[in-house]
Amino acid sequence: MRTREPVENRFATVITELDKARKAIAVWAVLVLVFTVVSFFYSEPILLALVRLLNRKVVAYDPSEAFLSMVSLAFYCGIVLSLPIGAWMIWHGALAPRLPGLKRLGGIIIVVATGLFASGVLLGYFVLLPSGIGFLAGFESKDVKALISARKFISFCGTMLIALGLSFEAPLVSYLLARLGWLGTRFFRNKWRHAVLGCTVIAAVITPTPDIWNMTLMGLPLFGLYFVSFVVVWVVEATRKTAKT
């Protein structure tokens, strides 16, 4: 008969895990700060790359907005640049001990995670952002010209690009959860209606503007990633069944 772990031991385990998470979060926060400071010195060319999507100039509505816009842009860049290291910390501290069969593939998994994130950002920069910005700018007329705030524009671009990059991690996360035995194809078959609703809600939350066009642009990749994740989990299950036979 299996003996239950004493409550004191379980409590100590939880405290240990929380302490590790606290230290990891602190290290990641310092990395974000360091990369933010470094990115600040390159914020002007990065802003110019984003402004090309507008094909016009952005404006600052008060003397501090220009500086705060550059700080905000540098902060977004700091988050993005620190993500591969953050992913490595998550893998090394939480996932690798539970997936000993994949422990040697940690480097490959981080490279794949970085590649997926970059794919989402590139899709957003070259396809979704130009389309979304063009749609909003299309409501201008001879009498109404939009003066676009630098801070709001950076927030719009930064939120959409980071959200898309993170959403593209769904297939990899689904693969790892399937290898842990926490996710199966039955979940995708039974919850697809909830997934449609969830993708719509997520698109509405992370889209900086409330218009239907940009929500749709954000939602469609999320729907696609749901089905790609389903295929990934199906392959994991099929491989596991083949190995048993």
pLDDT at 207 over 70: no
**By three-state DSSP, how is residue 12 classified?**
helix
Q: How far apart are CA 96 and CA 102, in angstroms?
A: 7
In one-letter notation, the amino acid at residue 122 is L
Q: How far is CA 174 from the centre of its chain?
A: 14
Q: How far apart are CA 235 and CA 179, in angstroms?
A: 11
Question: Phi first, then psi: what are they for 59, rounded to 5°?
Answer: -125, 155
> Lowest-confidence range among 1-10, 77-86, 206-215?
1-10
pLDDT for the residue numbered 109: 87
pLDDT at 1 over 50: no
pLDDT at 138 over 60: yes
Average per-residue pLDDT for the chain: 81
pLDDT at 35 over 50: yes
Q: Measuring CA to CA, how many Å separate 92 from each of 22, 27, 60, 89, 100?
A: 15, 14, 43, 5, 11
> Per DSSP, what are the bridge partners of residue 149?
59
pLDDT for the residue numbered 13: 52
pLDDT at 62 over 60: yes
Q: How far apart are CA 90 and CA 85, in angstroms?
A: 9
